[in-house]
Chains A and B, each alone.
Chain A
Amino acid sequence: MKRQENQTPYIQLEEIDKFFGITKALQKINLKIYAGEVIGLVGPNGAGKSTLMKILTGVLSPTAGEISISGKKMERYATKEAKEAGIACAYQDLSLCTNLGVYENFAMLNLSHGIFTRPGWRKDAQKQAKELLENYFPGNNIDVGKPVERLTLAERQIVEICKTLMTDNLKVLILDEPTSALSTDKAEQLHRVVQELSGRGIAVIYISHKLDEIRKVSDRIVLMRNGMNSGECDPDEITTADLVELLGGTGDRSKKREGPGEEIHKGETAARISGYTGKGLYEINMHVDKGEIVGISGLVGSGQTELLNLLFDSRKYPGREKKGVFVNATVSYVSGDREKEGVFHLWDIFDNTIVGNLDQVKKGLFLDKKKSENLAQTWYDKLKFKAEGIHSPIMSLSGGNQQKALIARGIASGAELIILNDPTAGVDIETKQEIYGLLDEAKRAGKAVILYSTEDSEIEICDRAYIMHEGEITEELTGDEITVPNIVRASFKEVKQEKASAEKKETVLNRILTSRVLLPVATMLIMILLNAYMNPRILSYMGVRMLVSSAVPLVFAALGQMFVVVAGDVDMGNGYSIALVNVLVGIVLTGNPLVGVVGLLIFIAAYALMGALIHVRNIPAIVVTLGAQFVWYGIALVIAPSPGGSCPEWLSAIYRFEFPVVPMPVILCAAAGVFCWFVLFRAKYGMVLRGIGNNPAAVERSGWSYLQAKVTNYALSGLMVVLAGTVYTAVCSGADANSSVSYCMLSIATVILGGCEMAGGIVAPGGVVCGGIAMSLITTVLTSFRVDSNYQTAVTGLILIGVLAIRLITHKKEVR
């Protein structure tokens, strides 16, 4: 929607400066955003686009300058104000919790933060999510109940964008490289969404390096360079080539082929694939010769990365053909995903460059400083880094300069075949040109280069190109045939082969087999059967009570461990913290109930504090809890230097209460499991508790406090430890600071057997309860089989490894 004359801008940024120390990220930036307008924001990397957006969303505050909303000057402008003004941003790095369902990710954003919600909110949230997705991206077929981690990258991007669109009172939407993972048809759907939003009076800021796209969607193009405004233009009156020129590129790519006269010596084959099928690839036939640049293109996710990885992995068998893949060269790999696959963040440019081939800088056994520095310096000069020298930390560089270091690593390694996986993603035009130059030089030096790019026009610099679609190579283009229209045409070409539908129906059997609770439940049942086989009398009321009774403390201990594990941490000190509770209950509480209760409350608060400490100071939980265990142990020893005490009578009365039909210990276990399940999976805050174990940033962006959630997790864990210690006191009717140490290792083992992921986010309370019972029955079984008690610890160890090995096999599909 074009704006009318004399309209007041919705938001106006005036003379914005942002300095980080001496670095001037933004200088005197002016930006007016009118309601309903689509602004295409373009600029080379390091132009300050992201910084400007962070100021607009209130994440950063400007060093100087004014921000006004609807003509009113804002005195204070932070995330809260930005949110109230209806500004939302779909982030380039996805901000979803992948362990939560699609609808939960949406719900986290728009549910009230109160403790209680009306029942049935989950159903409504699911319906809303479905409608929302269908509304903006018709025919997406996304199952909103599925955890995000099971979606494809493109589906996730759609969910991400829709999540942003959900912001109520949305006035300004920022899309940062929104189409990087989307196929052309989905990108077009997005463009329609942008048009529709604009029609509803919502302003859209569209950031992209894809200039054609920018020209197509925007009403006005704003250019930035070096942290300053560098003009505006009307998309209808400017060509892409002009834009490239304005941004600092030469814009004229036709210069690249220097007359047909020049002979480049074509070398032998560096790599060849004939008739390869597998790993998402079908009937691949291709080859790369030394002295040429071969492009790989096609729609994103058509198997290009798999192809590159196949070639890279085959370097281990040089000169031998394996399954139709033949590589006869040393290979290096340059990834465009700097964050995940590229830079070593603790190092400087120097180390990041030389690590690609350390053999060439060796002198005898040791690395030679001079040789390494010469090598790094040569490439530093050649690539015209914008940095203080080869010893500048890599993280102080802009994305483009980081990429230069990676390319230097790839080429400096001396490899004969250089594989580049989208090396120019998020790199500005100037750097891109330099990279093309380097590739050309490598080619002249007789190296083979494979370039996969998501930007079709980039393939034009190649000598030959393979275009892929759905895991097949649909066309090979050579020389002047390599044009964007040809690439696009081939990208959509029908594939020859009919493939088995990738999306397998989730059968009931399949779901049971991959269920996280299958293993603990099965183990528990087997243990019960074995026990019953050895001693049939245990299947009575009293028998079950006796068997399960000793398992209850472990069940609680493991549930406590689970609340820490869900946050991605681990509690190495719960063996001694249970002992402390044991002492508090057995000695203090028995003597003076009031002091005892206060003591236990302080204990829970101490656990919460520990969580806060781990979060605020960012120290690894494993170390803090290890240290804390000595604090627990020390206090316990001070209170009870030697074993003693007794169990309060009311406690043993409860514990020994003869419940009809089902014995008390079983009820306790079940109640504990249901409680934890409810907290984590039914209660609203459970989403947050699980979310922080997966993607804390996403939780925070949805408006929840990470600190608060972490403290809650630890407090809940503390509560479970208190229950574990209390029950333990009832079981052994006494207090001893030393006797419950083994619960630490056992609880970790139980949590794993129960189906939780140590990485955080994924837990299964039901599984943990069954796992706890199973673990404690193992001991009984071993005793009744007359296994030497010495071997019992080893059995626990073997079970641990066995469980994880089994899970590796059954859950292989989920591992990405």
Chain B
Amino acid sequence: MKKAMARYTFIWPLLGSVLLWIAISAVSGRFNAGQIFSSARLCTFALLLALGQMVVVTSGEGAIDLSQQYILTLAAYLSCDLMKYNIVLGLVAAVGAGALCGLVNGLVNIYLKVPAMITTLATGYIIFTIVLVISPGMTTLPNSDFVNFISLNVGGFSMLTVISIVTALLLGLLLYKTKYGKQLHAVGQKRVAAGYAGINTNRVVITAFTLGGALCGLSGTLCGAFNGGAFQDMGSTYFLPSIAAAFVGGTAASGGKSSVAGVCVGALMMYLLTTFLNAASLSVGMQRLIQGAVLVLILIASVSNDTKKK
């Protein structure tokens, strides 16, 4: 049992999701699977950020990306602006810009030896400035064709959910079935040892940051279209849920351990929590308070002792 818990880290958030669903049903007075579907749709953006965060954190040595929310905003602006010429161009440019931001984070972290937390804090400032400077001259309304596309319904699932699932599956393949995935997990456990095992650790870490940035870019593109446009602090809403989802889902903060399934369920749970708090019609203050408290409690319960920080 304990072994299974340690191996299948998504059990905890799954349990939490079920409990929350029951709680929502109790508050609203009827059982309705629709809440799960709508949470799944709403959690897309935080989920993509959380997956990106997971990849970065898994590279170890305290790697974390605090610039995610700004990358998301930048990508949203770029996609909205460029999609007026061409949808694919907008998508590629936004994801590419995200990847570029991630690449810069990785390069600064590795070659200037600035701790990841500080690097991304600093680049976050810079990216935010870029957003402030370029945003006044940009189209902030999304392309209507693209909006229609993401609003499609595929066999009961929202297009956003489909995109999430496909992304998660691809990421799962990359992390658990390829050479890069193995190397990433090795680097995350012990960089020196990975170096002696013949792994180009710098490249692996920089790639992790780049991949994480690209996921933020994708998230921003979808988010801009979904919210009917880009605005300057659109990313901040997703900051806490994404970080929470990443860690609740079983990402080891010390690196070397990840779980795509766990993070997906974790993101879903965070949005069920929001839905619940909304349904219970609490004040914003109480909502935040409960959100924070629940997060801390879940962490206390779920972070097992084998993922000790160094």
Contact = CB atoms under 8 A, between A and B. Distances in A.
Contacts of B126: 793-794, 797-798
A627 B113 CA distance: 28
B295 A630 contact: yes
Interface stretch (B87-95, B138-146, B178-186, B210-218): B178-186
A365 interface: yes
A222 interface: no
B73 to A, nearest CB: 13
Contact of A638 (B115, B173, B285): B285
Contacts of A413: 198
A794 B303 contact: no
B300 A617 contact: yes
A620 B117 CA distance: 13
Contacts of B291: 630, 634
B296 to A, nearest CB: 4
Given A628-B292, A631-B289, A638-B289, A801 B122 contact: yes
A357 B198 contact: yes
B285 A635 contact: yes
A480 to B, nearest CB: 33
A623 B178 contact: no
A461 interface: no
A634 B292 contact: yes
Contacts of A717: none
Interface string B185-207: 11001101110111100000000
B100 interface: no
B150 interface: no
Interface string A622-646: 1110111111111111110100000
B41 interface: no
B192 to A, nearest CB: 5
Contacts, number: 213
Contacts of A381: none
Interface string B276-308: 000000011111111111011001100101101
A508 interface: no
B36 interface: no
Contacts of A637: 283-285, 288-289
A797 B120 CA distance: 9
A570 B128 CA distance: 23
A365 B182 CA distance: 13
Contact of B190 (A334, A345, A627): A345
Contact of B256 (A346, A362, A618, A639): A346
A187 interface: no
Interface stretch (B23-31, B157-165, B239-247, B259-267): B239-247
B177 A631 contact: no
Contacts of A639: 285
B19 interface: no
B295 A627 contact: yes
Given A620-B253, A622-B117, A794-B126, A358 B296 contact: no
Contact of A618 (B128, B177, B292, B303): B303
A791 interface: yes
Interface residues of B, number: 66
B22 interface: no
Interface stretch (A26-34, A36-44, A744-752): A744-752
A798 B292 contact: no
Contacts of A341: 190, 192-193, 196
A413 B133 CA distance: 52
Interface in A316-359: 331-335, 340-347, 351, 354-359
Contacts of B108: 801
Contacts of A627: 240, 244, 292-293, 295-296, 299
A367 B175 CA distance: 11
A755 B122 CA distance: 17
B125 interface: yes
Interface in B103-139: 108, 112-115, 117-119, 121-126, 128-130, 132-133
B78 interface: no
Nearest to A330: B198
A341 B198 CA distance: 12
Contacts of B173: 366
B182 A355 contact: yes
Contacts of A347: 185-186, 189
Contacts of B113: 804, 808
A362 B183 CA distance: 13
A805 interface: yes
From A334, A620, A748, name the one whose CB has the most chain B CB atoms within 10 angstroms.
A620
B40 interface: no
A797 B283 contact: no
A413 B196 CA distance: 12
Nearest to B289: A634
B64 interface: yes
Nearest to B310: A568
B292 A758 contact: no
A635 B197 CA distance: 50
A488 interface: no
A241 interface: no
B122 A798 contact: yes
B296 A800 contact: no
Interface string A414-451: 01000000000000000000000000000000000000
B300 A793 contact: no
Contacts of A628: 292, 296
Contacts of A343: 190, 193
Contacts of A801: 108, 112, 114, 118-119, 122-123
A797 B121 CA distance: 7
A240 interface: no
A781 B73 CA distance: 29
Interface string A758-785: 1100000000000000000000000000
Interface string A369-404: 000000000000000000000000000000000000
A661 interface: no
Nearest to A335: B196
A613 interface: yes
A745 B125 contact: yes
A115 interface: no
A4 interface: no
B2 interface: no
Given A630-B289, A634-B292, A752-B118, A790 B132 contact: yes
A704 interface: no
Nearest to B173: A366
A630 B300 contact: no
A345 B244 contact: no
Contacts of A362: 179
Given A637-B284, A638-B283, A641-B283, A623 B243 contact: yes
Nearest to A361: B179
Nearest to A741: B236
Contacts of A636: 285
Contacts of B300: 613, 617, 619
A567 to B, nearest CB: 12
Contacts of B190: 340-341, 343-345
Interface of B: 64, 108, 112-115, 117-119, 121-126, 128-130, 132-133, 173, 177-179, 182-183, 185-186, 189-190, 192-194, 196-199, 240, 243-244, 247, 252-254, 256-257, 283-293, 295-296, 299-300, 303, 305-306, 308-309
5 contacts: A344-B256, A354-B182, A365-B178, A634-B286, A801-B118
Given A620-B253, A759-B115, 12 more contacts: A331-B198, A334-B196, A344-B193, A347-B186, A618-B303, A619-B303, A622-B253, A631-B296, A634-B290, A749-B118, A790-B129, A805-B112
| Across the A-B interface, the 4 shortest Cβ-Cβ residue pairs | A634-B289, A630-B292, A637-B285, A797-B125
